[in-house]
Structure 1
Amino acid sequence: MIQGCENPQIDPLPRRAPRVSYRFADVAGTLNEPGTLALFGFAAGAPASADPRYLQVALESFDTPAPLELWQVDGPVSCGRDGALRWASGGGWLFAAIELDEREHGGPDATAQRAYEQLHRFVAARDARHVLRVWNYLGAINQGDGDAERYKHFCDGRAAGMGDFFAEGFPAATAIGHHGDPHRLQIYLLACDQSGTRVENPRQVSAWRYPRQYGRTPPSFARAMVLPARDALAISGTAAVVGHASAHHDDLSAQLDETLTNLEVLLASADMAVGFDTHSPLKAYVRHPSDAPQVSDFLQRRLPGVPILLLHGDICRSELLVEVDGWRYA
C-alpha cells in the first residue's frame, strides 16, 4: 500500500531546480529541515535511518568522514513506501528509489528488468512522471567477458523493463559498480511534473546509438539534462570517451583531461557559462583506491572551490579509470 498525501496540483510556472549540496550534519536533523526531498549517506559506516527519504548509497567515500548529500525543494514534502520502493514528493518533484537482491530475482538482467518495471509503474501513476535523472549502482559491474559482462546483462534487463517509460526521450544517468554486496542492485531517480531538455555532446556518439561491440543493448541515457526552469544542468556520468571509443587506456592523467574537456563541451551545448563554481557539486568515481589522491589533486587544481565527493566505484568499461557526474547551476 502506498503511504503519503495526495499528489499536489501542477503549477504552470517552471519548477525551480532542487538544491543539491554536500554537508557534514546530523541525519535526523537534516531530514527535519523544510523541503528535504532526499538525503544520501555514503560508506558502510553511514548512519542508518528508516525515513524513506534517506538512502545509504552502496559506494564508499574516500573522504573521512564522508559528507551527506542533500536534495531540497520548495514546499512541503510527503513520503512513503510501496513494497521495495521508497519515495518522496514535493514542489512538483519526485524522488524514488529501489533496492533488490539479484538472488531473489534471477540474476542481473532479470533484476534490472523487475526494478525498472516497478519504477515505471509507480512513476506513471504520479503527476511528476517526467524522469530527468537516474543513478544505477550494481556489484561486480565488469565481471564476465563479451556479452556475458554483468553491465551488459544490466543494460538488457533495463531495456526490457522500460517499456514506454522513456518514450519522450532518455534521462541523464549514471551506472557505476559498487564494492558492497555483489548481488545488490540500487537505483534511484529524480522526476518532475514538467519536462526537461536533453543535451548531447557533439564529441561523442549518443549512447543509445553505440555500435554492437558494446553489447546487445546500447546504454539508454542522455549526456545531460537541463531542468525545467533552465536553472540547472544534471550531468550524466562522463568519462574519457571520444566518439564511441574509450580514450587513453590506463592513462589516468590523460583520462582526467579528456573527461574535463567533455564536461566543458556539455556546458557549452547546454548554453551555460564555462566552468564550475562553489555551488556546482560533483562526484568523481575512482576505480583504483591508489588513484584517489591524484584524482583529488587534479580536480582541486583544475576546479578550485568546487564541492567534489570522491567515491570508490568501477566505471562501466574496464579500461576507464575515472568518471565524473553532478550538477551545474545557472
Structure 2
Amino acid sequence: MTQGCENPQVEVRARRAPQVSYRMAQVATLLEAAGTLAVFGFDPSVPSGDDPRHLQVALASTDAPAPLELWQVDGPVRCGMEGALRWSTGGGWLFAAIELDEREHGGTLATARQAYDMLHRFVAGHDARHVLRVWNYIGAINDGEGDAERYKRFCEGRAAGMGDFFAEGFPAATAIGHLAAEHRLQVYLLAGEQGGHRVENPRQVSAWRYPRQYGPTPPSFARAMILPARDTLAISGTAAVVGHASAHHDDLDAQLEETLTNLDALLASADMRAGFDAHSPLKVYLRHGSDAPRVRDALQQRLPGVPLLLLHGDICRRELLVEIDGWRYA
C-alpha cells in the first residue's frame, strides 16, 4: 500500500544528506513539511501514527514536553506499509522500520533474525539499497546471564538474518534497551543510493572483532559512517569503551568524559573539524533517568548550543550508564 505523502513542490537536487533536527511541534505539522522522510516521537505509551513516516520509539524522553526528531530530504517523498514494515523514500534516500512482537516470532534470537531478513529483502528491491545507519531498540536488553543475555541473543539473531545484507561492510548502528514491554523489538534504518565511508575509532577495537567474552556473535556495526556526499558523519552509539573494555564502571562523570573523548577521536578519524555545533543533534541515552539534569548541565558546558535529546534507556553493557549517538554536519 502506498500512501499520498508526495509533495510535488520540492525539486530534486543533489543527493545531500537528510537534515536531522529536533522540533517542538505537532506530528501532523512536521509530516506536512516539504521533504519529510520521517518523524520520530519518544514515548513508549504512544502508538506510531497511521502515516508510515511517523514512528513512535519505545523510549521515554527526560523532557516534558518532548521534542520530535525530523528527517528532511531534497525531493518529493513516497511512503507505504508492507505488513509490519513501514517505509518512505525520496531525494535518493530510504527510511524503513519494523516492529515485531517476540511472542509471535519465537523469542529474542528468532525475532531479530526475522526482522533483519525482512529488512534485507525489502531494501534489496530499491535503488537506495546501501544501508548506512541502523537503530535497534530491544526490551530488557540486559536480562539473562552469560550467552543467554538478551542483547547477545539479539546479536546472534541479527547476524543470522542479515545474510549478505552488509556484504560491503557494516553500517553505523545503535542498540539500546527500551523500557516498554520486553517482547517488543524495533529496528529502523537509513539507506542511500550510494555507499558511505566507514570510520573506526583508533581508541577502540572494531566491534566485529570483539573477543569471545562479549558473546558467541560480536556486534555488527561501524563506529561511524561518512555519508556519500561527505557532508555528514552518522555517529554510532558511543560509550566509555577503551579497547574492547568498559571503563570507569558505574562512574557517571568519568564515563561521560570518556565518551566525549571517543567522540572527539571519531571526528579526527573522519577528518572533520573538532567539536559540535547548533546543527549537529545528539541523542544521549541514560540508564538512570534521574541523571538527566546532571548530564545536561555537563554537556551544555562542554558542548554549548548543541541540540540534545536525553532519553531514558538501558545501555547494552550493564556497567555503562550513558551512551551518545547523533549527527555531525560538515
TM-score (norm 1): 0.96
| Cα distance in 1, alignment partners of residues 163 and 43 from structure 2 | 33
- Structure-2 change in CA distance of 1:262 and 1:51 (3 Å): same
- The corresponding residue for 2:96 is 96
Task: Give the structure 1 partner of residue 20 of structure 2.
Answer: 20
Instruction: Name the structure 1 match of 2:8.
Output: none
In 2, the alpha carbon distance for the partners of 1:191 and 1:295 equals 32
Give 1:269's aligned residue: 269
Q: What's the CA shift string for 1:272-302, capped at 9, x where partnerless? A: 0000000000000000122122111111111
Contact 2:44 2:179 in 1 (8 A): no
Which residue pairs with 1:316 in the alignment?
Answer: 316
- Structure 1: gaps spanning 5 or more residues: 6-12
Q: Distance in 2 between matches of 1:269 and 1:62?
A: 32
- CA apart distance, 1:44: 3.7
- Number of the residue aligned with 1:221: 221
Q: Do residues 287 (structure 1) and 306 (structure 2) align? A: no
Residues 1-330 of structure 1: matches in 2 within 5 Å? 15-44=15-44, 49-330=49-330
Q: Deviations over 1:238-297 (max 9, x none)?
A: 000000000000111100000000000000000000000000000000001221221111
State the percentage of identical aligned residues: 78
Give the CA RMSD over aligned residues.
Answer: 1.5
Q: Secondary structure at the match of 1:29?
A: helix
Q: State the alpha-carbon separation in 2 of the partners of residues 49 and 147 from structure 1.
A: 36
Question: How far apart are residue 34 of structure 1 and its match?
Answer: 1.1
Q: 2: distance between equivalents of 1:268 and 1:168?
A: 23
State the 1:19 CA deviation.
Answer: 0.3
Aligned residue for 1:10? none
Q: Deviations over 1:34-84 (max 9, x none)?
A: 100000011146585200000000000001100000000000000001111
Q: Please state whether the residue corresponding to 1:110 is helix, strand or coil.
A: helix
Instruction: Tell me which amino acid in the other structure corresponds to 2:187.
Output: I
CA distance in 2: counterparts of 1:159 and 1:45, whole angstroms: 30
Count residues with an aligned counterpart.
324
- Contact (CA 8 Å) 2:2, 2:78: kept in 1 or not? no
SS where residue 119 of structure 1 aligns? Answer: helix
Q: 8 Å contact 2:289–2:311 — kept in the other structure? A: no
Classify the secondary structure of the residue corresponding to 1:117.
helix
Give the whole-Å Cα distance in 1 for the aligned partners of 2:58 and 2:289: 16
Distance 1:14 1:216, change over 3 A: farther
Between the aligned partners of 1:224 and 1:296, the Cα distance in structure 2 is 23
Q: Is the 8 A contact 1:41 1:47 kept in 2?
A: no
